[in-house]
Amino acid sequence: MFPLDKLKVSRKIYEKLEEMIQWSDIHTELISSKKLEKVKDFVFKNDINLHLITNRRGQILGVFPGEMDETILREWEEITFNNAQSLSGLRWLIFGVDLEIYNLTLKEKYIFVRYGFDLYLKADLRTNEAMIFYPEVCEGFLSRSFVSEGSYSLCDLTHLDPEYRIEEIEAELKEGSSHLIQEGLKERALLVGLDLPVNKDQYSLEESLAELKQLTLTAGAEVVGMIIQKRDAPHPAFYIGQGKAVELKYRAYLEQIDLIIFDDELTPAQQRNLEELIEVKIVDRSRLILDIFAQHARTREGKLQVELAQLKYMLPRLTGLGSKLSRLGGGIGTRGPGETKLEVDRRRIRKRIQDLEKEIKQLAGLRELHQQNRNLPVVALVGYTNAGKSTLLNKLTNAGVLSEDKLFATLDPTMRKLDLGSSAVLLSDTVGFIQKLPHHLIAAFRATLEEVQRADILLHIVDASHSERELQMRTVWNVLGDLEVLEKPIITVFNKADLISTNEAEYLRERIRPSAVISALTGEGIEDLLDLIRKEVERDFKELEVIFPYNQGGWVEKLHKTANVLKEEYRNEGIYMKVKVDPILAGQLEEYVIRKMVK
């Protein structure tokens, strides 16, 4: 029997309810006429709805006045969550006045499915009308949806035997198999964003969610829906409002959601509270991006850095149910770089963090050594993720770097030599930038960002066709500012010109200087870009006139290879050359110089 003492009702109602529970007569109809009379009497006298839970033999096992309360249901021994795989053999009936009998609220749907009721009857005692909802079976499984039948009159109910209908449903159910998590199926994700008071420096909510969706797809999950809530500020305990969080719980269950992804970084407390309430994996923007990093890191150093960032992110979040869920589940948020699963034991994490930090430091030292040996100027490609950096690098150098319509396709630094004719440079591809990237995540790709700091020239690649182009540019400038590299020469490259109008291209060319409007795909504008790079590289180059004695033919050959030869004449006193060379070479040529040009 249901523990009546848990209900907060008056003594009088309590006694009535107790009396009702005792009518344990057995019958096959949905409700006997005798019971129906008593229920009517109770509802009208107390002006309150009444829920009955009965078994298949018509016996009343529980009574609930007012709203169906899940917290009470949960403590009731005779009812269990059955994860919507089979019917529980219990029926849920509500009697009241002015009920919305044709539709179910989200909460009703959730309770109905979660507890595996055979049916849900909604009966309005004033209009004398009732509807019955049965679980729907789809391909042998309960689909977490319903079919409704009716309407019936109250009198019909006292004759109606639902047994046959329920047998039919059970016959359709395949035995013993679960449709919950099947191997190879994509994780089903629900995205959540807050509509906060507008700040013009921020990405529009739509854009931010569109990007979150793109990130989610990149991480390999399927986006089932997006939820937006308008608020003045995030709720300290739940990020979204508590009521909204409860609604999410219902939706997550009914729509078989595997994870909910929030468009900001959640505090450890928010994450924990949400996981406890909703009982599905909760992932925030940072954890999602880290997961993508984990899948994309290729080099040893890249992998170590990503794992370090993941562990630092997880450490404060390892309490309560949160850690249980992340231990149990797989998929987004649990993957480490490579094949490994992330460590979840706090003490071992601390030790691992120390080891990682040590190893990364050693690797950085090695890299430093390599860097010192290079003597060509370095041009770094920077820009918002998916702007086309890798595509451009490939176009310019045939590098064969993976470029994809995915966010963060590139995670490890790649360098290629680019021949400019009169000079050459090393082009370096870098990780894309993204908005709302917390600082501890930026630290995760320090290796690639150091390339940016070491570069002599930056090419800022912009997706000219993107609707949030200006904000993306600003995001990149902010990161470049943080890296203290805004002082370096920056060439802005408006890419994807094939997707914009000529007017727009014209406008962009004037918008910032120096800039080029190109298409890395079609090759349009690439020559202009090369000219700009050459001009920048050769800015410090010196123009010299030299004369080599005829026995110094080696120099002539060398200059043809590494410098820009403007003029060459065989004169009596030797070989005359007018050349443009970098400052180092200029120093070496000192003894042959007959004239230096001043630019």
Ligand X SMILES: Nc1nc2c(ncn2[C@@H]2O[C@H](COP(=O)(O)OP(=O)(O)OP(=O)(O)O)[C@@H](O)[C@H]2O)c(=O)[nH]1
Q: Which residues bind ligand X (CB under 6 A)?
A: 383, 385-391, 403-405, 407-410, 432, 495-496, 498-499, 519-521
From Mg ion, ligand X, none, which one binds at residue 58 (CB under 5 to 8 Å depending on kind)?
none
Q: Which of residues 477-516 bind Mg ion (CB under 5 A)?
A: none
Does residue 151 have a cis bond before it (omega within 30 degrees)? yes
Q: Least distance from C-beta 483 to Mg ion, angstroms? A: 18
Q: Which residues of 186-204 are buried (b: 16+ CB within 10 A; e: fewer)?
A: ebbbbbbbbeeeeeeeebe
Only segment of 233-241, 242-250, 390-398, 550-558 that touches Mg ion (CB under 5 A): 390-398
User: Can you list the positions of beta strands (E) in 163-298?
Assistant: 188-195, 222-230, 259-262, 281-284
Only segment of 129-137, 405-413, 491-499, 540-548 that touches Mg ion (CB under 5 A): 405-413
Structure tokens at 410: 């590139």
422 φ, ψ to 5°? -85, -10
Nearer to ligand X, 52 or 500 (CB): 500
Q: Least distance from C-beta 485 to Mg ion, angstroms? A: 19
Alpha helix positions (H), 258-376? 268-278, 285-296, 300-314, 320-328, 346-372
Query: What is the separation, in whole angstroms, between the first and last Cα of the chain?
Result: 98
Out of 218, 410, 428, 495, name the contact with Mg ion by CB under 5 A.
410
Nearer to Mg ion, 216 or 390 (CB): 390
Is residue 428 at the binding interface for Mg ion, with CB under 5 A as the rule? no
Nearer to Mg ion, 251 or 389 (CB): 389
From ligand X, Mg ion, none, which one binds at residue 207 (CB under 5 to 8 Å depending on kind)?
none
Q: How far apart are CA 289 and CA 549, in angstroms?
A: 62
Structure tokens at 345: 């034991």
Q: Give which of 124, 292, 311 is closest to 216, Cα–Cα.
A: 292
Nearer to ligand X, 223 or 526 (CB): 526
Q: Give which of 533, 391, 371, 509 is closest to 450, Cα–Cα.
A: 371
Q: Least distance from C-beta 451 to ligand X, angstroms? A: 14
Nearer to ligand X, 87 or 409 (CB): 409
From Mg ion, ligand X, none, which one binds at residue 315 (CB under 5 to 8 Å depending on kind)?
none
Q: Least distance from C-beta 409 to Mg ion, angstroms? A: 5
Q: How far apart are CA 64 and CA 74, in angstroms?
A: 13
User: How open is the CA angle 380-422-542, to the nearest 5 degrees?
Assistant: 95
Q: Least distance from C-beta 80 to Mg ion, angstroms? A: 50
Q: Least distance from C-beta 404 to ligand X, angstroms? A: 5
Q: How far apart are CA 412 and CA 305, in angstroms?
A: 11
Is residue 390 at the binding interface for Mg ion, with CB under 5 A as the rule? yes
Q: How far apart are CA 232 and CA 514, in angstroms?
A: 41
Q: Least distance from C-beta 397 to ligand X, angstroms? A: 13
Q: How many residues touch Mg ion (CB under 5 A)?
A: 4
Nearer to Mg ion, 271 or 390 (CB): 390
Nearer to ligand X, 308 or 497 (CB): 497
3-state secondary structure of 539: helix
Nearer to Mg ion, 62 or 383 (CB): 383
Q: Least distance from C-beta 507 to ligand X, angstroms? A: 18
Q: How far apart are CA 201 and CA 478, in angstroms?
A: 12
Q: Strands 188-195, 259-262: parallel, antiparallel or unpaired by DSSP?
A: parallel
Nearer to ligand X, 334 or 410 (CB): 410
User: What sign has the CA pseudo-torsion 469, 472, 476, 478?
Assistant: positive
Only segment of 169-177, 244-252, 386-394, 507-515 that touches Mg ion (CB under 5 A): 386-394
From ligand X, Mg ion, none, which one binds at residue 520 (CB under 5 to 8 Å depending on kind)?
ligand X
3-state secondary structure of 358: helix
Nearer to ligand X, 428 or 495 (CB): 495
Closest CB to ligand X: residue number:
432
Single-letter amino acid, residue 298: R
Out of 387, 396, 409, 532, name the contact with Mg ion by CB under 5 A.
409
Q: How far apart are CA 298 and CA 409, in angstroms?
A: 11
Contact positions vs Mg ion (CB under 5 A) = 389-390, 409-410
